[in-house]
Structures are given as structure tokens and as C-alpha cells.
Structure 1
Amino acid sequence: MSKRVVTPEDLLQLRSVTSPALSNDGEHVIYVETTLHNEKDKYSAELIRASLANPDDSHYVTQGNHINRLPRWSPKDDVVAFLSNRTGTFQLYVLSSWGEPKQLTEEKKGVTDFRWSPDGKRIAYSSTQLLEEEKEEDKLEPLVVNKMKYKSDASGFWHGEYVHIFTVEVDSGKHIQLTDGEFSFQLFDWTADSQQLIVSSAYQENTDFVFTNELLLLSVESKEIIQLTNQTHVISNASASPDGKYIAVRAHEREFDNATHFEIYLLELASNEWTKLTGGWDVQLGPVVAADFLQNIVDPGLVWAGDSQSLTFLVSEQGNVGIYNITVAGEKQAVLTGDNHVYGFSINSEGTTLVAGISESGHPGDLYKVIPGQGEPTRLTSSNDKVLDEFEVIKAEEVRFQHEEGHELQGWLMKPAGFKEGQSYPLIVEIHGGPHAMYANSYLHEFQTLAARGFGVLYINPRGSLGYGQEFVNAVRGDYGGGDYRDIMSALDYVLEQHSWIDESRLGVTGGSYGGFMTNWIVGHTNRFKAAVTQRSISNWTSFYGVSDIGYYFTEWQIQADLNDVDKLWKHSPLAYVNQIETPLLILHGEKDYRCPIEQAEQLYIALKRREKTTTFIRFPESSHELSRSGKPSLRLKRLEAIGEWFERYL
């Protein structure tokens, strides 16, 4: 029986299986299964408990069309804590004996993260708090702004909120607020004795030009704070060894601003000595994949072995994400690698069993049981098998070649659905955002829908992408539209030379964020593309500097110019080349995008229309920069339809 092609609506049929949490005895895993609902225009996420010995022995432990996420087992008991928005905001719950969940918090702004104490008696959590009483919701109030970092694409306008740390006793429900004041704190871990918390904070009142954070020890009894660093690092993760000797820290020193690779540092608490474990290892620590399907992904960070002698973590390299281990002596070992995207894992304290979430270009992702050093992973979940049996999923072929400028480039090529030898097909070039991110051997629903419409899809990692070394990721800074543009065009030339089925007269290009900038740049510098779709893009660096939530510092880091050098900002602005744009251009943008505000799209649209160029502008209501990844399901579908229809019209 022939299979049907993928449609945008299949996004509603597929389920995202993420956030595995392995039980203390290693016999069960709890994970999150996320579903999109078009009729209610929302997401739901339920927790499922499955047996590793018998994966068919699984059942839902939550139900009710809410979002339940971040399951974590108690270190001592058969109890799971998790976050749920069943009361409207995310609150902390515990579940034991698999009965009804017990709610532990009633924070007005909800709970953002939590960690079990090693003794299993308390849970530390973080929650956004307002310094002043919240204004009446139905009463209009002016927003008084006195800081540069006053808005965020993730959380909107700043009204005096700070993230603070609390503890709650699991049995009694007693709460203690440990931090207060005009600082925000990030929760990382407990120390082994359950007496202190490892947290971080910028720890300065004016953070407009502060991009590092301090590593701090916070006493849960006295609330005393001990500062462990001196404003020199960007710290993204920290965890305490079970024996109490070390804190492992994932951080960098901003040598290349936000293009800097993270390293793993080891702090020996007794001597206060720091050791860089990953010195000379030129890879990106952590997952940095540009994709559009998976939901409720959790980066496990740095996970200690029970004997405190090694750490397990994710590494992004060469278009893959794998699992590695490093000892306290700095010896590295691959645990799980291959042509795939490991998007999460949970490992037992002995390091003998782990459960990993794995996606590939032709598969959305499932959980697998892995016995390190003993054969292939064993699949535990099959949430999408029935749906995947119905339609043709295209697996991408790797593209790898030597650029004439001396570096190697990697990408992937997808043939159209129903491909037949001897026929010619149009091709669409896809460009990821960031630019410091990475396309990978991972499932991308947008690309599948384009292939289903009869398009080939080419996507590569040009200069500026993570996963290919520090020099490569840094190469785009100060050179937007230079070497990155040449990389993309060289990749296109290469596949045209290698694949005769591609119709060179029917080429399209699209991308979002930085990929939208590059789409704008490309159509302003060549007419070889017959259609283009620019999404949540940048068109004018001179205005982006002041309107984006990251504008003033991102522009200085990436373009390496500010408003004192308007000539350079304008030189790198696609709007400067609008007279040269002949390609029919569809402009897609979210109304509440604070990362690349919609005025960037408005400027480009009006400039094109004034010159009577072929263009259409689609504005997505109530949508942030994350529209394509976590926006309203109905709008995500309309976005995919708009892209496909535009390319069908002009290619």
C-alpha cells in the first residue's frame, strides 16, 4: 500500500517524547509526551511511566489536557516531583503510590525550576516574584522604564520581577524563601549534605552591561551567601559531586562574546582550586540544535556518577548530538554517538544503564535504553509508529565538501516525496537562526512538508554555526553577509553539480531570525532564486540596535559596530540593497516578536511595495519569536501552509 505525503496538520498527530527520568532502582522511566491540539489551540503534556524490562507495561500517571513537565525522582523514595499548569500557572507537585498528585506550591507567578535535596526531605525551587504589588489587570498603567534590559521575547515587558529561591518540606509543606531583593537567582543544585544550594546571579543592581554571572553557595538554614567566582564567567550549569568534594561547572570566559564555546571546570571545595577539564577539546558542550518539533526538552547538564569520579553530558559536534563522559582527571570517552540527535538522557548512578531520547532526520524521536559498551540501543517507546506508518517520511542525505577557501562544510539534502529518477524538481535552501546554532541529523517538520509538496530541501551549517570548532563559529562576527553567504552559495553550487535532478531555474530560499536576515541578504545580492520566504527577520541593523530585546549588545557583538558607526550597520543591513531585490518575497512575522521586532518586517515590506516589487506580508497575532517552535498550533499550521503555497506559486 502506498503511503501518503506529510502535511502541516500531521504536526497534530505526532507526539513529542522527551524528558526521561530513570528511577533509582533503574527499573522504570517516567517521561513527557506532548501533543498539539488545533481545536483548543493549545498544547498538552502528560507523564507516562514505563518499565525498562517490558516497555509495553506503561501507563499515564497524569491526565487532563494540561502541561505536566520536568519529572524528577526523589533520591530516596519512589516519589516523583514535577511541574504542572493545571491551576493556570506552573506549580510544584509530588506523586507517590501513583495516586493523586499533591500540590506543594501556590506561587502567584508559578515555579520555574526545582531540585530535590539529596536526603529527599526538601525541594528547592525558583519562582518569579514582584517587588511591589501587582497592578489591577483591567486598569491601564504607564510603563516607566529606567533600564536597557526592560523587555524579553520570552517574558514580555519587565515590571519589577525578580527570580528568587525557596525550599519546601515535602512532608509538612513548610516553605522558606531564601533570597530576596533586586537580584535574580538561577537554581543549579544542592550540595551533598543537603545544607547548601548552588545558585548563580549577576549579583549587581545594574545589569545593562553585565553578561556574566556569579557562582554562589546559599545556606538553606542561615541564608548566608558565599561567592565562589569573581564576575569572570558565563555559567550555564553547575552540579555537586555526591561525595561533597567538587562542583562541576559549565561556563566560559566570553573570549568571543556569545560565540564562545563552553568548557567544564572542576572546583575542589576544600582547596578552592579550579581545574579546566575540557581544555583543548574544541567542541560545543550541550545541545544546540535548530529544529521545530520536539517539546519540553530538558538539557541534563553535568551529571555526576555515584562514585564522584566522572561526569556525563551532551556534546554537539559535526551535525550530531551525542553523550560523553569525562573523569575528574580529564579523560574523555564517548558513551553514545552516531548520526543522530540525542535530545536528553537519564543515567543511573553506576553508569551502567541510561535512557536517551534520540531523533533522526527521518524520525521525530523515541526513548531508547542504552547499556554503555554493550551493543545497540533498545527502543522503549513507539508513540508515533502508527502515524508514521501512514505517510512517507524523507530521510536526508549528508552533504559534505571542501570549500575553496579551505574549510569543510556539512549539510543535508532531502529529495522530494515520490522522487523518480530522470525527472527534475525545484529545490529550497533552508537557513537556520542563531547564527550560533546547528542543523543536525534531527527531524524537522517544516522540511518534511516542503518535500511532500515536491520540493527538494538543502540545509547546511555555514560559518557561524556551532559544532565545527571555535574558529568556525566565531568567523561570522563582523562579517554578516560575507563568508556565511559564500558558504551557502557554494553548498548550492555543489549540490547542483552533484545532482542532475535539481532544476536550477526553480530555486527557493527561506529561513528565520538570522536565517531571515540571510534570506533578505541573498535576494538583495543575487537573482538566481525565483521565490523566497523571510521569517522573523532582521532587515535594518540601525533600528534593530534600539528595538530588539538584545539589540544594543547583540549588534555590537555580532556586527561589531554601534550607532557611532552607522555606515557599517547600514552596510550589513539587507534594507540597503532593496533596490536590487527582484525575487518574489513573502514576509512572515509575529506581532509580539521582541527579539526581531515586527518593525523590521514593516520596513522591508514598505520599501519593497514602494518600489512595486512582488511581496506579501503576513502578520501573526499574539506570536513571539518562537512561533515556529512553540507558537499557537493553529498559527503554526497557517505558517507552514503559507510557506508551501508561496513556493508552489512561484516555483
Structure 2
Amino acid sequence: MEALQLEDFIGYRFLSAVQLSPNGSYAAYGVKTSNSEKKEYLSDLWITAVRDGQTRQYTGMGDVGSFRWLDDETLFIQADREHSDKELHPLEPQTHFYTLRLDGGEALKAFTLPLRVTEILPLNGNRWAVRAIYDNTYPTLTGQTEEEKDQARKNFDEEQDYTVMDEIPFWQNGAGITNKKRSRVYLYDATDGSLTPLSSSYFDVSLMKVNQAQTQLMYIGVDYTDKMGLTDSLWTVDLGTGQAHERIAAGTYQFRTAEYVGEDIVFVASERRKYTINENPTFSRLDSQGRITRFADPDLSVGNTVGTDCRLGEGRWFMAEEDGVYCIVTDQACSRLCKITYDGRIEFLSQAEGSMDVLAKHMETVVFIGMREQRLQELYRLDLSSGEETPLTNFNDQVLNGKYVAVPQPLSFANKDGVEIDGWVLLPKDYDAGRTYPAILNIHGGPKTVYGTVFSHEMQLWANEGYFVFFSNPRGGDGRGDDFADIRGRYGTVDYDDLMEFTDRVLETYPAIDRQRLGVTGGSYGGFMTNWIIGHTSRFTAAVSQRSISNWISMCCTTDIGYYFAVDQTASTPWDGGERMWEQSPLKYADRVQTPTLFLHSDEDFRCWQVEALQMFTALKMHGVASRLCLFKGENHELSRSGKPVHRIRRLKEISAWFTSYLQPSK
């Protein structure tokens, strides 16, 4: 059996955004692949017949963005087929849309909008609901004279030597500088080309939906001009009159999602009653009279938080129908399909281990993109009447064919406090119990996410390079309810204890692991914990800290979420309990570190800004500890999951070289 190679992920195909045709016969979805230069990803549209799995590629230029079915025979796609040699000015964005027939033929141009469109929904009468980026500092040039446009371009260009910030957050991970930029809703009439704003210019829209009759539009978000609040308001617009009404005011809910059921709105939102920003949501229904009825409070985490480095793109995880809601939830170490009726009854509709990433539903048939056993993403059909799952595609079978893929060995235990902790171990390739091996502890991010049994390229790579790889879900993680996830003010305490106890259990269970050759790594929260571990124990011979937090005070005052996340998670502020923030900061303990540590960070990571790595790296150098910092240009917090392929290759090379030099020096 061949060894999995570092660059094998270049051949992986990543599926997302599955949607069923109105009659349920065909599933359309996006497939992303790495381009030949490994500098970006290509995105194309594929369609699979739900009944027999016949699959066909429908575009081949790698330029497809969003898409949706207009009817059973027609798709509407966002793509860039213009190929203009003229470079557009930033003040004159364009988004192009096309129609594509199911029976084949070229994509036909529908229209171009002078906006950076992020979402578009069809309405009656050749009208469209559009969500797009609006810049309050530099409004659109549409409707201006040529003289006014020239002056606006000149003013913009002159300002590019300066960055002005007068609100928080002033930047956002993956979006760059966002000061005074908002996501805004428009009504577009394709008949006359008119664009009418429906939301105010400082209202940042996070969700937009249209009712089935296409007479009413709903949008959810937050209105701010100085500091973004943490609760949303919900508005509806009568599409006949254009009148907007605030249906739910800000102050109570952090919305996760919402959908129409008839004239009612069913929504999922955290009410922050006890567990604040990480609290699991409740399920409620808003009727046409403005009455809100909470119909379920299940202490379930909605959506899929099962971690892997083998996903790209998103899609739908929630559907509201007349008989209840169908929702992907994270349950322990898996994500599953759950049905919740309007009288509060809960039923799990899928039982298989792994992850259900995104879904679509028609009557008793669900199609979903997921990861089963040690397979990469594929499209599956779930028959709700029988519970039977059937794979519909095999995009990724060939790339793993004949390669060693380690099967996660479960190692769960009751910790010293009697709390059940889930964990797994990957055995090294060609494992021989008579030999000794190095091992790597890998720590997930979040912390409110989970590891499970799904395929992870980086962990499989390390197993193929001769390491035991072990990983677990300590307290603070997802899938076990609010109380399990709540470590506010306790970072580096119970979670650290769980990880160290798990390490002890792994070493006891697998005596072939050389205790003098242990490595530790993790990203985001896992990076925080890596920084914390090396300041509290010398049991690890080498460490790799990725997109980490080292100082809660600087994290609070520099990052896109810091002003509320750091305050909430440390249960303190720099001015009220600053000593508690410092007590929970790995940087405080940097003078104790003995472990050689590699730091990986991105210069556009505004979630955990690069200063976090710079501080810890500098501190270790000041104290004579072997350390190295690799800073990735043009990448953000998602480097390991959606960074440029060439950068992901360099990242893995850095990690492998660091661990090899300290854990396998004889190689």
C-alpha cells in the first residue's frame, strides 16, 4: 500500500451548495479543484440525477459562483464570462449572471449588476432580491455624470495611501478592511434596470429570504455606525408597496437562520440567557400578528462543526416545512440530520458516523454532501422513509485508491471529574508493535467545534510519515451541550487537564509511542492551547502553534471579534479584571517554555492577528528557546482549510520539517 503524499490534496475535489430542482429529480452543486499552478481553486457546476446517480459536469471554465434553479430545466448562475482586457475601477464593480439549460448549450447572458453581489433571489415580474456590498465612504457611481465619476475615481485613488478607521470591527477576517462597508439588500427590476435599496445604508444584512408567494422579503442583521452590536433585528418588506417593517427589534436574539413557512417565519436564534455568545439556540415561530412562540429548546448545536481540512464552500443546513424543521446538528463527534416538530418533538433522521455538511430536501428524499468513514466528500441520498443512505458520486475514490488511510481508533474515557471525553488515535503506516514511534497531539479550534472520525489530510499525512496521531474533544468543545462547552474564565484549566489526561491514556494504551518524542500542534483555539501547553509542561519535544492567541489583551483590542469574544471568554476586560486576562494568556508563561516551537500565521488573519504569533515568537527568542516564524502573505485565518494550494503545501512542509527535525532526527 502506497503512502499518502503531502501534495495529494491537490487532486481532491470539494463539493458544496447542493440544491434540488423543483421536482426533486436533479441535484446541482459546486465542485472546486486546485488549478494547475496551485495558486487558486476552480469552481464548476455539476448535476446528478437523484434516482440513479448519473452525474454530469455542466460548466468547465472554473468561474461559477452562486447558482440556483429557476425551474426544472433552467439554472441561474453567477460567473465571469466577459474576459475584458479593461481593468475595472474599484468604484465600478460588476457581477454577471447567466442562464443555463439542463438539456445543454451555452450559458446565456441574463444581466450584469453594478454591485459586488453576494446573493440573489428570483421574484415575480422579472424582479430580483439582491444582497451586495455597499461602501458608505464611497457610494456607487451609478447614476452619476461622467464628470462626477471622474472626480469620484480621483478622490478614491488619492485616499489609497491612507486607511481610516472609525468603528469596530474595522476589519473582518476574509474580507479585509470593512470600515463603513455593509451588506445591503436591493430590489432589481430587470425590465428597466432599476436598483432600489431596501435596507438602510448602515444596516449590515446577514440573511435574506423570500416567501413562497414572492410577495414578502425578510432580512436580518445589525444596524450600527460606531460599534457593531451582538443582537440582530428582523425586518420584512412588502414587495408590492416597498414598505419595510421591523418585526423583531435588536436586544434579544443572535439569529443563526430563519425561513418562511407560509406567512410565518421560523427562526433559530441564541437568546444568550445563561451561556452568552456560545449558547446553543432555541427554535421559535413568528406569526403574521407579531406573536413569537418558542417551540423547542433542545440544547443542540446547529450546523456542522466537525473539523477537517477537506472542505471548501458552504450551503444550506436548515429547512423549515409545514410539519417541522429539518436541521443539521452536531451531536457529540458527528453531524446528523434532525427533525424538530412545532410541538417540540425531536427525531434524529440519520445515524451514520461522520459529517453531514450541507443538504437539500424534496418530500421524503434528502440529498446531502457529507463525509463517511474515511472517504472524502461525496454526494449522498437519504431516504427518510427507510433511513437508507446511498452514495451518488465517487469524485474522490481514485485519489485515495491504494493509499494508506488510517482508521481512527476510539479512545474515550471518563476524566478525573467523571466527564466522558471522546478521543481517537491514528496508527502510523506499517505499524509494528515491536517498534517505537513518535506521536503528535493535534488540538481542534473553536473551542466550540469537534474532531470526529472524518478524513483529515494533515493527520493522515502525519500517520503516513510514521507518527501516531491522537486527538480528542476536551471540555469547551461542541456537541455535548452548553454546560460542556462553557469554559468562560477557565481557559487553560479544565481543557488543559483533559488534554493531558488524554495524552496519559494514549501513552498507556500504546506503549510503542516513545515518550521522549511527542509533538503538539493546533490552530486558533488549538494554537492558544499549544502556546499554553508549552508554558505549563515540558513533556512535548516539539510544538507547532498555528493562527494562535498568546495575549488576550492584545487579542481583545486588535481583532475583528476580540472586543466581545475575548471579553466573554475570559470573563474580564483589560480594565476590569485585566489580571484575569493576563492569567489566562500563554504569553505570561513564556519564560517557562523549553519546547522548540514553530509559529505559523497569516498577515491578513484578522481573527487572531499576526501580533499574537509575533509576541510569543519574540518571547521565546528572548528566553533562548529554539523557534521559527513563517508568516503567509495574503492569507487569513482559513489558511489550512481554504488558503491558496501552494500556501497550504508550504504550511504542511513547514510542519513536517519541524517535527522531523525534533521527533525523527535519525531520518
Q: How does 1:336-415 map to 2 (within 5 A)?
A: 336-348=350-362, 350=363, 352-360=364-372, 362-374=374-386, 376-415=388-427
Q: What whole-Å deviation, never above 9, does each CA across 1:254-302 have from its counterpart, x for those lacking one?
A: 2322211012111222x432222222x221111223221111121332x
> C-alpha separation between the residues in 2 aligned to 1:277 and 1:137?
53
Q: How far has the Cα of 1:359 moved from its partner?
A: 0.5
Q: How far has the Cα of 1:203 moved from its partner?
A: 3.0
2:257 counterpart letter in structure 1: N
Q: How does 1:183-194 map to 2 (within 5 A)?
A: 183-194=203-214
- CA RMSD, Structure 1 to Structure 2 (Å): 2.1
> C-alpha separation between the residues in 2 aligned to 1:400 and 1:235?
34
* Counterpart selection for 1:59 from 46, 56, 62: 56
Q: How far has the Cα of 1:346 moved from its partner?
A: 0.8
Q: In the superposition, relative to structure 1, how do residues 86 and 473 fare at CA in structure 2: closer, same or farther (>3 Å)?
A: farther
Task: Tell me, yes or no, if structure 1 residue 473 matches structure 2 residue 488.
Answer: no
Q: How far has the Cα of 1:174 moved from its partner?
A: 5.7
1:299 counterpart letter in structure 2: R
Q: What whole-Å deviation, never above 9, does each CA across 1:11-41 have from its counterpart, x for those lacking one?
A: 1011112222122222211111110125150
* Counterpart selection for 2:570 from 555, 559, 562: 559
Could you say what secondary structure the match of 2:128 adopts? strand
- Number of residue pairs matched by the alignment: 634
1:333 counterpart letter in structure 2: E
* Counterpart selection for 1:261 from 271, 280, 283: 280
> C-alpha separation between the residues in 1 aligned to 2:46 and 2:52?
14
Could you say what secondary structure the match of 2:460 adopts? helix
Q: Does the Cα contact within 8 Å between 1:190 and 1:197 map onto a contact in 2?
A: yes
* Counterpart selection for 1:110 from 104, 108, 116: 116
Could you say what secondary structure the match of 2:369 adopts? strand
What residue number does 1:282 align with?
A: 299
Q: Does the Cα contact within 8 Å between 2:349 and 2:387 map onto a contact in 1?
A: no
Could you say what secondary structure the match of 1:181 adopts? coil
> C-alpha separation between the residues in 1 aligned to 2:556 and 2:347?
43
Q: In the superposition, relative to structure 1, how do residues 34 and 413 fare at CA in structure 2: closer, same or farther (>3 Å)?
A: same
What residue number does 1:329 align with?
A: 343
Q: What whole-Å deviation, never above 9, does each CA across 1:174-230 have from its counterpart, x for those lacking one?
A: 64432342222233311232111111121344444x100011112223332211212
1:130 counterpart letter in structure 2: D
Q: Does the Cα contact within 8 Å between 2:16 and 2:29 map onto a contact in 1?
A: yes
Q: How far has the Cα of 1:501 moved from its partner?
A: 2.4
Worse-superposed segment, 354-363 or 259-268: 354-363
Q: How far has the Cα of 1:53 moved from its partner?
A: 2.8
Q: Does the Cα contact within 8 Å between 1:107 and 1:127 map onto a contact in 2?
A: no
Q: Does the Cα contact within 8 Å between 1:8 and 1:637 map onto a contact in 2?
A: yes
* Counterpart selection for 2:536 from 519, 525, 548: 525
Q: In the superposition, relative to structure 1, how do residues 312 and 80 fare at CA in structure 2: closer, same or farther (>3 Å)?
A: same
Gaps in structure 1 of 5+ consecutive residues: none
> C-alpha separation between the residues in 1 aligned to 2:81 and 2:490?
47
Q: What whole-Å deviation, never above 9, does each CA across 1:412-438 have from its counterpart, x for those lacking one?
A: 211112222332221111111111222
Q: Does the Cα contact within 8 Å between 1:520 and 1:534 map onto a contact in 2?
A: yes
> C-alpha separation between the residues in 2 aligned to 1:495 and 1:96?
55
TM-score by length of 2: 0.91
What residue number does 1:219 align with?
A: 238
1:329 counterpart letter in structure 2: D
* Counterpart selection for 1:630 from 631, 639, 642: 642
Q: How far has the Cα of 1:90 moved from its partner?
A: 5.5
> C-alpha separation between the residues in 1 aligned to 2:303 and 2:513?
36
* Counterpart selection for 1:100 from 74, 92, 106: 106
> C-alpha separation between the residues in 2 aligned to 1:609 and 1:223?
62
Could you say what secondary structure the match of 1:140 adopts? helix
> C-alpha separation between the residues in 1 aligned to 2:28 and 2:611?
44
Q: What whole-Å deviation, never above 9, does each CA across 1:433-458 have from its counterpart, x for those lacking one?
A: 11122223322111111111111111
Q: How far has the Cα of 1:380 moved from its partner?
A: 0.7
Q: Does the Cα contact within 8 Å between 1:287 and 1:299 map onto a contact in 2?
A: no
What residue number does 1:304 align with?
A: 320
Gaps in structure 2 of 5+ consecutive residues: 84-93, 140-152
What residue number does 1:294 align with?
A: 311
Q: In the superposition, relative to structure 1, how do residues 154 and 87 fare at CA in structure 2: closer, same or farther (>3 Å)?
A: farther
Q: In the superposition, relative to structure 1, how do residues 146 and 138 fare at CA in structure 2: closer, same or farther (>3 Å)?
A: closer
Q: How far has the Cα of 1:120 moved from its partner?
A: 8.8
Q: Does the Cα contact within 8 Å between 2:280 and 2:482 map onto a contact in 1?
A: yes
* Counterpart selection for 2:329 from 315, 340, 356: 315
> C-alpha separation between the residues in 1 aligned to 2:469 and 2:190?
51
TM-score by length of 1: 0.93
Could you say what secondary structure the match of 1:185 adopts? strand
Q: In the superposition, relative to structure 1, how do residues 166 and 295 fare at CA in structure 2: closer, same or farther (>3 Å)?
A: same
